[in-house]
Structure 1
Amino acid sequence: MKEGLPELHLPDAETIAQRLRQDQQACRERKVPSNLAVQLSSATEDIFDEVAWHLTPQVEVSKALRSTRCKSIIKGIKAYLGQLDVMTKSEEHMSMDSMHVPASEELETTLKVLDYLQKHKVVAPTEPLSEVLLAVRGQLSMNNNTRYTQHERFQRTDAPKTSDAKKRCYICRYRFSPTDSHELYPSLCRQCGMFNIGCSNLSLPEKLDLTGKIALVTGGRINLGYSTVLRLLRCGAKVIVSSRYPADAAVRYSTEPDFSQWEKRLKVVGADFRTANDAFRLVHIVKQLLCAWDGETPSDTPQSLDILINNAAQTLTDPIKGEVKAISREDHLKDHPQTMALLAESENDRYTPRVRGGQQATWIPRITNNKTQPQIEGASSTQPTNQIATKGLRMTNNEDEEPSKSSWVQSLHEIPYSDLISAHSVNAFVPLILCRELLPVMGTLPPSSSPSPSAPSTPAGYIINVSSREGILEDTPQSSSKAGHHVHTNMSKAAINMITETEAQAAWKGRRVAMNSVDPGYMSAAPECLTDEGCPIGFEDGAGRVLWPIAVGEVEGKAVWGRFMKHFRVGVAITRRG
């Protein structure tokens, strides 16, 4: 029994946890789970915490990691249910009189379909008719390409396996038997799972004290940034968070159960890095907060910025309709009391979210001298900033048109030029601006009597450039890691890695600021890349990786700088030298 939980809720929570495990297994076996995962969206925080405990009752696992695992299970079940939920009202109310009488050919086709479902283990031979109908409807909810993809996946997984049936560990890459996997991480061997938890725990409040330090985290509204900010706050730091949707971010933080313990140490700033003006506005606000955190009289000796985490990234481009919906929600939340308390802005300088960041340039073909050439039109600053810009080089100006697949699987000729520009703005240009503008208010000048600038010592500041392995060179040009996809984000990640490699030494020698690139790991995937197993690790694990260089410096007094780090490892070169 978990200590400190009211006994009244324990039986319910335990039953819910057992049912979630059964539903998760049903999804893996391509059966129909219950609707419990959907109903849990209205559960109280206490019930949710108890369910998370029963799903992961190990004492050594942090509460945040338990919560992350629980949310991952629920999210996976809901996604699976979404594929099956295609029953229409017309089908439910179909009368016997209007029912179609099948012909012989249709009955023969039905037998073929049922045989297909049996062979692919979608339904069992003893399954009741209602379950069979649900399975058929689930198949109908998929388009042909998705169905073919599942068929190919089944053929691979159902093929005769070798006796060992081993898979590669996500961290060490050695093969291991499923029975040797870590109980919290099916994609990790037991040893690497323990290693992952141990290293991640180094940046938890029990070990890392950041009291008195000030951090800036870009892109902190959801996912990795959100988890990273919470760790920093719970370790005692003051944190400035930037987001395209600051009101929504403020409301999200205010719903945390321990919000009252750190609300005075959190500031949220609106900034859309698809425009440089917002980056410079953020710099200005950060410097103001260093002089006067909570509206007090500005100090003649401002505090230094201790931590800069360039986390904001554009990997998958949001649909225009999604941005419009987010802006509408932002407008609804902007006057929320909790929003007003957390936002760092003045009445005369209020941030306004814009579709596509207010980009006015539209790429369209124009016939010039009998040749089709791409030209930029509509760049006038007199146009309204919330105008919807079209995406990419196209013949028509259809504002409702959305890409048929995510940018993660787009080839060179499918990537809109607007995505190319915005990815570099968010992923590379703005991190460079922030490093350049904020380094002078970070760290400390080395004393003239310092023996050697490169001698190891405790860092006086930290810059973490959140990157990914897509930004490094592969061992072979035949590698399938990139394979002609998402070249624009690969380029931008290579650029942020080059910021680290070029500027880390100067930052360390000049200000004793430790700058590193960190790959937080495989925590999320494009819709086309999702698998039944999900991702190997979660956002809480990613936050542990991002903060690891800081924890090593603060807890162990070790300086790590100028490196590309993955899986808590030090000394990995950003590019391979021949």
Structure 2
Amino acid sequence: MTTPSPELPEHATSTTQGIDQHELEVALRVLASLHELDDEHPDFVAVRRATARMFKSVKKNRRDEKRDAIANADRSVIANTATGAPDRIDDETRGVQLAAITTAPTAGTLIKSRPCYICKQHYTQVDAFYHQLCPSCAATSHAKRDARTDLTGKRALLTGGRAKIGMYIALRLLRDGAHTTITTRFPRDAVRRFSSLPDSGDWLHRLKIVGIDLRDPAQVIGLAETVAAAGPLDILINNAAQTVKRSPGSYAPLAEAELEPLPDGPGPGPEMITFGHTNDAHPQALAASVAAHPLLQRAAVVAPAAAALGLAPLGHGSGVSDADANAELVGSELLGAALAGAGLAPGELSADELSGLALAAGSSSLSRLADGTAIDAGGLVPDTHHENSWTQAVQDVDPLEMLEVQLCNTTAPFLLVSRLRPSLAAGASAAASGRAYIVNVSAMEGVFARGYKGPGHPHTNMAKAALNMLTRTSGKEMLTDGILMTSVDTGWITDERPHPTKVRLAQEGFHAPLDLVDGAARVYDPVVRGEAGEDLSGVFLKDYAPSPW
């Protein structure tokens, strides 16, 4: 059977590299004669299958091209926002706010809609600042992030006020007129940070910095007694928390900087006191347990590795595997390499230089992470281990870390609330508003109402759940003394996943939907609303609204 060859389409004569001309003519001739065969003929079936695969492949390629084009267009819109900018560092702390790239109210319109981080409704119009909020939620967040109130003459105690969210909360309290006491394990670094801010002359005389290890109940009780002795208290914010324990090497430059004396400034600096040991690897309260049970020491190394680093070995029978020891050794070597590469070797990096790097934009950028010169917002060398407790299941969490989390995240807030209730009641009685405030900084990890709960970090989930129960149990009853106690979720601000995972996601364009100012605004909101006459007590607040426990 022969059939005249059909005319070739015009594009077949293109100079573009393609199928051999002779083979193309044969293929077209076969297709033209195919209708003469029965549908069940083997040749017809073979050609049908081959062409079906071809058309599926073509359709898939076109779908992929369309999807990629949409993704690229939407990505360019997101890149024009403040929170979605490619060079944004999620937990950078400079005492200043992020700024939108464009002066327009919106960054653009998405081709493919996406759900809002807060209300979950789909949106396409992208706010110039928030890349994951719908226009309505973005407007609310803009109004709340700048909310202020007059706290002139009031006293506030804020735990964990040195860096990140805590620093922004402290700045709100100070700039609104409150006499503010903050706690930290690194008090000298806190002095350097706050003193370096341009407007510090307006409020530095109202700042008191307390060096304390909140993992030590004795120190916490001492703090409560000192605060109570100073008179009525208006605001207690339990912000300090241990979420993921970093390897000891991450703290080395910061701990060494605490040994340097503070320089004399041109004006009066903040008052600073300490309660015993503040930046030991383990709290004094657990020292005996650590000494008796070396397995509790996460920083343990075997004797040869310890000798190589000049560290004291644990001794025989410690139960520490060579693999774990070598992992810690590698981490320590990476620390040394990172500091040396930046010219920041311990003993050479001054305390002022360390604080300056922690406050400087871009000090933990992807490029600095890649070349080993990064210092994060807390003044720490990034922990490069491939695993941390955020991804660990219950059988993998270090016993000492579990104990430290409960002491810092649950025991310390309980002791402060119970010991300072009379002072807070006195503050409410003396206030024109008749109110005092306790804000327990919590998280969605401690909520039972969530439909899904992953297996990771059970110890921090336990701690936040316990803190929520303190608010729920005592919140309404404390209202009888004019004390408004709430639990607050700060929102998704930082990524606690292991370092390699964080770097990979950042390279792929991931950014948290909120920033540190948003987190601080959520914590500060119950105070602002209370001073405006709105009582919030015994509730869990998420995105500024009461939410299920």
2:535 alignment partner in structure 1: 559
1:175 to 111, 122, 128: 122
The TM-score with structure 1 as length reference comes to 0.59
Task: Give the direction of change, closer, same or farther, for the CA distance of 1:54–1:436 in structure 2 (3 Å limit).
Answer: closer
1:308 to 209, 222, 236: 236
Task: Give the direction of change, closer, same or farther, for the CA distance of 1:498–1:362 in structure 2 (3 Å limit).
Answer: same
1:415 to 397, 407, 410: 397
Partners of 1:167 and 1:175 within 8 A in 2? yes
Task: Indicate the SS of the match to 2:272.
Answer: coil
Q: For the residues of structure 2 that align with 1:27 and 1:169, how far apart are their CA atoms?
A: 13
Task: Indicate the SS of the match to 1:516.
Answer: strand
Indicate whether 1:259 and 2:200 are aligned.
yes
What's the CA shift string for 1:476-506, capped at 9, x where partnerless?
3xx2xx3110000000000000110111122
Task: Indicate the SS of the match to 1:344.
Answer: strand
Q: For the residues of structure 1 that align with 2:161 and 2:471, how far apart are their CA atoms?
A: 21
Task: Give the direction of change, closer, same or farther, for the CA distance of 1:56–1:268 in structure 2 (3 Å limit).
Answer: farther
Cα distance, 1:389 vs. partner? 11
Q: For the residues of structure 2 that align with 1:341 and 1:446, how far apart are their CA atoms?
A: 29
Partners of 1:458 and 1:558 within 8 A in 2? no
2:524 alignment partner in structure 1: 547
1:246 alignment partner in structure 2: 187
Indicate whether 1:533 and 2:533 are aligned.
no
Letter in 2 for 1:172: C
More relative contact order in 1 or in 2 (CA 8 Å, sep 6+)?
2
Q: For the residues of structure 1 that align with 2:166 and 2:123, how far apart are their CA atoms?
A: 32
Cα distance, 1:260 vs. partner? 0.1
Partners of 1:240 and 1:266 within 8 A in 2? yes
2:15 alignment partner in structure 1: none
Cα distance, 1:57 vs. partner? 4.4
Q: For the residues of structure 2 that align with 1:27 and 1:364, how far apart are their CA atoms?
A: 54
Identity %: 28
RMSD, aligned α-carbons: 3.8
Q: For the residues of structure 1 that align with 2:543 and 2:312, how far apart are their CA atoms?
A: 40
Indicate whether 1:166 and 2:94 are aligned.
no
Cα distance, 1:228 vs. partner? 0.5
1:489 alignment partner in structure 2: 460
Q: How does 1:151-300 map to 2 (within 5 A)?
A: 165-177=112-124, 180-202=125-147, 204=148, 208-288=149-229, 290=230
Indicate whether 1:320 and 2:302 are aligned.
no
Task: Indicate the SS of the match to 1:166.
Answer: strand
Q: For the residues of structure 1 that align with 2:238 and 2:167, how far apart are their CA atoms?
A: 13
Partners of 1:266 and 1:342 within 8 A in 2? yes
Task: Give the direction of change, closer, same or farther, for the CA distance of 1:388–1:540 in structure 2 (3 Å limit).
Answer: farther
Task: Indicate the SS of the match to 2:259.
Answer: helix
Task: Give the direction of change, closer, same or farther, for the CA distance of 1:251–1:57 in structure 2 (3 Å limit).
Answer: farther
Task: Indicate the SS of the match to 1:331.
Answer: coil
1:471 to 418, 440, 446: 446
Q: For the residues of structure 2 that align with 1:236 and 1:445, how far apart are their CA atoms?
A: 16
Q: For the residues of structure 1 that align with 2:544 and 2:88, how far apart are their CA atoms?
A: 33
2:264 alignment partner in structure 1: 337
Q: For the residues of structure 1 that align with 2:461 and 2:422, how far apart are their CA atoms?
A: 29
Cα distance, 1:516 vs. partner? 0.2
Partners of 1:365 and 1:394 within 8 A in 2? no
Task: Indicate the SS of the match to 1:408.
Answer: helix
Cα distance, 1:314 vs. partner? 0.7
Q: For the residues of structure 1 that align with 2:225 and 2:154, how far apart are their CA atoms?
A: 19
Task: Indicate the SS of the match to 1:405.
Answer: coil
Q: For the residues of structure 2 that align with 1:27 and 1:166, how far apart are their CA atoms?
A: 12
Cα distance, 1:316 vs. partner? 1.4
2:489 alignment partner in structure 1: 519
Indicate whether 1:502 and 2:478 are aligned.
no
Cα distance, 1:474 vs. partner? 3.8
Cα distance, 1:521 vs. partner? 0.6
Task: Give the direction of change, closer, same or farther, for the CA distance of 1:281–1:252 in structure 2 (3 Å limit).
Answer: same
Q: For the residues of structure 2 that align with 1:431 and 1:221, how far apart are their CA atoms?
A: 17
Indicate whether 1:354 and 2:280 are aligned.
yes
Indicate whether 1:55 and 2:109 are aligned.
no
Cα distance, 1:199 vs. partner? 2.2
Cα distance, 1:287 vs. partner? 2.9
Q: For the residues of structure 2 that align with 1:194 and 1:250, how far apart are their CA atoms?
A: 35
Q: For the residues of structure 2 that align with 1:465 and 1:418, how far apart are their CA atoms?
A: 24
Q: For the residues of structure 2 that align with 1:508 and 1:441, how far apart are their CA atoms?
A: 14
Letter in 2 for 1:552: R
Task: Indicate the SS of the match to 1:415.
Answer: coil
How many residue pairs were aligned? 381
Q: For the residues of structure 2 that align with 1:309 and 1:388, how far apart are their CA atoms?
A: 39
1:293 alignment partner in structure 2: none
Task: Indicate the SS of the match to 2:180.
Answer: strand
Task: Give the direction of change, closer, same or farther, for the CA distance of 1:164–1:244 in structure 2 (3 Å limit).
Answer: same
Q: For the residues of structure 2 that align with 1:341 and 1:199, how far apart are their CA atoms?
A: 31
What's the CA shift string for 1:26-62, capped at 9, x where partnerless?
9979xxxxx9999xx9xxx9xx98x96673647x99x
Q: For the residues of structure 2 that align with 1:554 and 1:562, how far apart are their CA atoms?
A: 17
Letter in 2 for 1:489: T
Q: For the residues of structure 1 that align with 2:170 and 2:312, how far apart are their CA atoms?
A: 31
Q: For the residues of structure 2 that align with 1:549 and 1:330, how far apart are their CA atoms?
A: 34
Task: Give the direction of change, closer, same or farther, for the CA distance of 1:573–1:496 in structure 2 (3 Å limit).
Answer: same
Letter in 2 for 1:213: K
Partners of 1:355 and 1:388 within 8 A in 2? no
What's the CA shift string for 1:216-275, capped at 9, x where partnerless?
110011110000000111111110000010110111001111000001110000011121
Q: For the residues of structure 1 that align with 2:519 and 2:131, how far apart are their CA atoms?
A: 17
Gaps of 5+ in 1: 1-23, 30-34, 62-162, 291-301, 367-373, 377-386, 448-456
Q: Which has the larger radius of gyration?
A: 2
What's the CA shift string for 1:421-444, capped at 9, x where partnerless?
011111101000000111111134
Partners of 1:393 and 1:416 within 8 A in 2? no
Partners of 2:224 and 2:420 within 8 A in 1? yes
Q: For the residues of structure 1 that align with 2:296 and 2:459, how far apart are their CA atoms?
A: 20
Task: Indicate the SS of the match to 2:220.
Answer: helix
Q: For the residues of structure 1 that align with 2:487 and 2:463, how far apart are their CA atoms?
A: 13
Letter in 2 for 1:536: P
Task: Indicate the SS of the match to 2:541.
Answer: strand
Task: Give the direction of change, closer, same or farther, for the CA distance of 1:234–1:270 in structure 2 (3 Å limit).
Answer: same
Q: For the residues of structure 1 that align with 2:145 and 2:525, how far apart are their CA atoms?
A: 7
What's the CA shift string for 1:190-239, capped at 9, x where partnerless?
1110111112222x3xxx11101111110011110000000111111110
Q: For the residues of structure 2 that align with 1:209 and 1:505, how far apart are their CA atoms?
A: 25
